Structure 1
Amino acid sequence: MSPEYAMKGIFSIKSDVFSFGVLLLEIISGKKNNVYFHEDPSISTLIEHVWDLWKKCRALEIVDSSMADSYPAHEVSRCIQIGLLCVQEIASDRPTMSSVVFMLENETKIPTPNQPALIMKRTLKGLESSTSETGSCSINQMTMTVLDPR
């Protein structure tokens, strides 16, 4: 679910793009975004982990280990980049689905993604949150979600 819909109830065609990006990254990694566990306690989601590896130019480390080396690295790298474009924090920065399909089908230049949505670093205690390395944080600086039935 896109962050703008989850936090503010704003739905647009870019909400579907966000969901597609999450699915793309889940397929590549073989892991789910919402139950992702990593040895680094400051990383709580798959998207955070992919972004962290992308910034370190090590994005292919996210590929599901069952794939071994049986994949074209260039194509998977493009898919990771497209997935990160789809989950950018600002909805207007995300591509349209037709642009995503075009990027997947053609060897065109792909823009560099900006920081994904909901990236938040936590302290070791997990009780406090601080801004990520780039200085951004969630819109309301909250880490707790309260679920209410409709």
Structure 2
Amino acid sequence: MRFLARAHQMPARLSVGAFVVNSGLSKLKGGDEAAEQTHGTAKAAYPFLESQDPRDFTRMLGTAEVALGTALMVPLVPSLLAGAALTAFAGGLTGLYLRLPGMREPGGLRPTQQGIPLAKDFWLLGIGSALVLEELGQARAGRRGRR
């Protein structure tokens, strides 16, 4: 596993990382009303979150976002690890888009006006997947070269 991000990966890692850190900090600074709204959206898509305290849930989510965004922005964090974390996180966010009513046009994946803010999570999923696939491909090529 590489211990430094590749230079060409850093623009994507920095822009996504800054976006995710900002989102996390906003959640950590938000009050009870914002926590209720965040938790309400999450539990509508993922009913198992119903038992979570809204404030604790939002604090955990905000902390996770700050940690993920920071990992993306620090070049010492391997791209395979940062990409896998982003892919997992974006997968959960994409689930919101796919599960919440009114986010998509009937019978397809095209977003409604309401769904556009959540549809962007597909980009995060694509960026995370690209980081993972590049690193796995490089590792495979390296193994072939040593034979």
TM-score (normalizing by structure 1): 0.27
Q: Going by fraction, where is helix more abundant, 1 or 2?
A: 2
Higher relative contact order (CA 8 A, sep 6+): 2
TM-score (normalizing by structure 2): 0.27
